[in-house]
Amino acid sequence: METASLRSSLVRQAIEAINQDKLDDFMALFAPDATLVDVSTYTGFHQIRDWAQRETFGVHVRFQPQSEKNAEGTIIAGHVQSVGGYNGPATFVFTLREGAIQSLDIS
């Protein structure tokens, strides 16, 4: 599945930012009080940015979407590839509110 064909423009922008190593663009999509869960829970801009720098952008993650799991296009199953980090299947579950990412749960 091509990233460009994802139904949710916000989800598409988040995945494009990851795949293009654009940390600032990725962070601009989150609500100020957002949470991110990737084994541990990170809350707010600074914690999410620290996680993103270390676990995503620092290891040059690429996320290839394989399917949308709901009609809204906010649950995406795919494959993660990185340099020195996790490689394998992953599901990204986005909760969107008022034009921003309120939460992202990665499993």
37 CB-contact burial (10 Å; exposed 0-12 / middle 13-18 / buried 19+): middle
The DSSP letter of residue 71 is: T
What's the pLDDT at 10?
Answer: 98
Extract the residue ranges of the chain whose pLDDT is less than 70.
none
Give the model confidence (pLDDT) of 29-55 as tens digits. 999 999 999 999 999 999 999 999 999
User: What pLDDT score does 87 carry?
Assistant: 94
pLDDT of residue 69: 97
Domain that holds residue 58: 3-106
Cα–Cα distance measured from residue 33 to residue 57, given in angstroms and rounded to the nearest whole number: 21
Q: What is the number of domains present in the chain?
A: 1
Indicate which CATH number applies to the domain containing 24: 3.10.450.50
pTM: 0.95
Q: What is the pLDDT of residue 15?
A: 98
